[in-house]
Amino acid sequence: MRLTTLFFLPSLFVTTLQASSLPTEVIEIMDQYRIALYLTEAQISSIPNWQPGAGEPPMSLQAAVGRVLEWIAKNPLLADAQIYELKYKPVHNYEKFNRWYYLVELRLRAGKKQFVAVLPDGQVVSAIEEPGR
């Protein structure tokens, strides 16, 4: 019995460590699209607390657009992408912590869509449209 416990504890530690480092799936709806983005706990906790009516958001709209345009410029496959829609949204399931970010829909000439999130620290995170749409 004691030998079994010794083998079990290291595997429990590894499982716990792996689970805590997995990103959190954040599901959003933008128009009729269901969007998934994956943020780590560190990314979410680094977003400053902000509430509507409490002054300007931590990142201005102009700065968010600038970060998206820089991100597009670094991605040759998105050379013809244009910002189609941009929303400032609370991080789903973290509303009580007042964590907000920009969700952006890009449109490409071929009629395709690309979604990205812009965090207040300037990180641009790819998002995906959930299958089945």
Identify the three-state secondary structure at position 130: coil
Is the model's pLDDT at 4 over the cut of 70?
A: no
Question: What is the token pair recorded at 26?
Answer: 């954040």
Tens digit of each residue's pLDDT (9 = 90 or more) over 20-79: 568 888 888 887 889 999 999 999 999 999 988 889 999 999 999 999 999 999 999 898
pLDDT of residue 111: 83
Decide if 50 contacts 98 (C-beta within 8 A).
Answer: yes
Task: Report, in angstroms and rounded to the nearest whole number, the Rg of the chain calculated over CA atoms.
Answer: 19
Confidence class for position 120, pLDDT limits 50, 70, 90: very high
pLDDT of residue 69: 96
pLDDT of residue 20: 55
Q: Please count the other Cβ atoms lying within 10 Å of the Cβ belonging to residue 113.
A: 16
Average pLDDT, the chain: 83
Topology (CATH) of 22-129: Nuclear Transport Factor 2; Chain: A, (3.10.450)
The residues spanned by each domain of the chain are: 22-129
Q: What is the DSSP string of 28-94?
A: EEETTEEEEEEE-HHHHHTSPB--TTSSS-SS-HHHHHHHHHHHHHT-GGGTT-EEEEEEEEEPTT-
